[in-house]
Structure 1
């Protein structure tokens, strides 16, 4: 029998609060009494937690696995204590989510374990953990636990929406916009239309999704969307960049600064990633959303 390995798998690391609704328990933890939190989780050991904001995304990604081929691995990466971790695994079992691996650090930052996991994505409700994961080179987003839950209308599709600049692409163009305004940004992108944008923090995750889609599964598919504030003529550089990567997205929305929320509600993603808090906050009223704390818009 071959040794266990995460090679050739899409690996998602996720915190317990991103996967399950532990907001009530978390208020006890943030009250400064970790022992009370642990006691509460132990008392509720046989009470399965309700699905959290990223639950739909994880459930659908795991549906790409079958007995003959494990294409996706989901690992709990949590600041929880090991005792509380028992409830996480029991909740997963009750929800028919096949989880077998987890790292519980009892309050310490867990992002360092992304390296041995070779994670393609890290989802957490902890902003600092997400920032440190991004700084270490891993696609990561802070899950807005107040988001709307995902639609149930597409049970056989993983639907994921991405912002462009500072998410899929670098913030090179966004810096021009922030410094010199919209007209300079449009001119900059028009003159560089044939020059691919540098990679952004989420390109590795998009690439891993593309590989998963190419592997093929008759019962599940992936549908992606680029949802960006760009408009013509700046749209061309974004499209050409994806072409240079040999990756296609299924839908592209060039909204010219219009609010993204209602467009996302129409697309009905299992998750949406954006670098700007105003876009994420607005999107969270309609769909599951996460903040990618990268690029010029997030310089502290």
Structure 2
């Protein structure tokens, strides 16, 4: 009988999201993939330092027990197979139970997300993230330079989400950008009983909810989620009602009315925060691991070479 990942929370991420390969990446950008391969081969026995997504991955894998394997982490990378040797060696040295990887040597890797059944893809490559989002997978471009402070809650995974264009669609954001705050507030008040359409990260919140339910009772890890949004009263109500209609919950909700999110995220201390606006991401990355979700009206499609 073939092995299956059905029923698991599957996270796919690039090697640069998991490990600190910024120095090696400079070689790639300044030369070519052959030079990059050579450097990685020379450093094959040098254990890579943790990258921005490392704490999140370590904590998610801790949900697995001898009785139940609930989380699968897969390396999905533009790296070549030779460079993949160092990735797997480093993962083993850090005691991360990562067994699977796909290395495409420069080709877009997003097409393998469907076969994996992934509910999250993290990469430092913006084009790959946009491709994955277009294909319907929750995806974010990581900020490799993000601050990392996940040791405060070693037995709890903490994930924070923006609302519009992340958990929800950008329907309301389009009204705001076209007609201003007054029109936005009126629109949300008039439509308070109508759930917002889902955004790209609803599937991840659903998967986390299932993981939380499956892990109830004595468990090595807990899960805590937060909604961190620029909405304020009375526009907050539609967001809360939408989550209720979906049958999903968050543990904390912050309706900040335009206040800087970074200071609040510093207090929540998530293992990862997801937002669609680069300004919020840049602020948040000073305090917590951050991923930019290139979706919605704030992220127009860019012409590619």
**1:135 equivalenced with 2:134 (yes/no):** yes
- 2:101 is paired with a residue whose SS is strand
Q: 1:95 — aligned with what?
A: 94
The residue correspondences of 1:204-283 to structure 2 (distance < 5 A) are 204-216=203-215, 218-283=219-284
Distance 1:154 1:120 in 2: 24
**1:191 equivalenced with 2:190 (yes/no):** yes
Distance 1:151 1:203 in 2: 24
Deviation (angstroms), 1:69? 1.1
Deviation (angstroms), 1:88? 0.2
Deviation (angstroms), 1:3? 2.6
Distance 1:151 1:248 in 2: 23
Deviation (angstroms), 1:33? 2.1
Q: CA offsets, 1:178-221, max 9 Å, x none?
A: 10000000010011111110000000000000000000152211
**1:62 equivalenced with 2:61 (yes/no):** yes
Q: 1:104 — aligned with what?
A: 103
Number of paired residues?
A: 299
Q: Are the aligned partners of 1:150 and 1:271 in contact in 2 as well (CA < 8 Å)?
A: no
Provide the TM-score with structure 1 as the length reference: 0.98
Q: CA offsets, 1:101-159, max 9 Å, x none?
A: 00000111101001101110000000000000000000000001111113310001000
Q: Which runs of 5+ in 2 are unaligned?
A: none
Q: 1:119 — aligned with what?
A: 118
Structure 1 stretches of 4+ with a deviation exceeding 3 A read: none
Distance 1:129 1:151 in 2: 27
The residue correspondences of 1:31-180 to structure 2 (distance < 5 A) are 31-180=30-179
- 1:164 is paired with a residue whose SS is coil
Distance 1:188 1:35 in 2: 54
Q: Are the aligned partners of 1:9 and 1:70 in contact in 2 as well (CA < 8 Å)?
A: yes
Q: Are the aligned partners of 1:53 and 1:150 in contact in 2 as well (CA < 8 Å)?
A: no
Deviation (angstroms), 1:299? 1.2
Distance 2:250 2:275 in 1: 16
Q: Are the aligned partners of 1:20 and 1:55 in contact in 2 as well (CA < 8 Å)?
A: yes
Distance 2:293 2:126 in 1: 9
Q: Are the aligned partners of 1:167 and 1:274 in contact in 2 as well (CA < 8 Å)?
A: yes
Q: Which runs of 5+ in 1 are unaligned?
A: none
Aligned-pair Cα RMSD in Å = 0.8
Deviation (angstroms), 1:36? 1.4
- 2:298 is paired with a residue whose SS is helix
- 2:169 is paired with a residue whose SS is coil
- 1:169 is paired with a residue whose SS is coil
Q: 1:30 — aligned with what?
A: 29
Q: 1:11 — aligned with what?
A: 10
Q: Are the aligned partners of 1:81 and 1:107 in contact in 2 as well (CA < 8 Å)?
A: yes
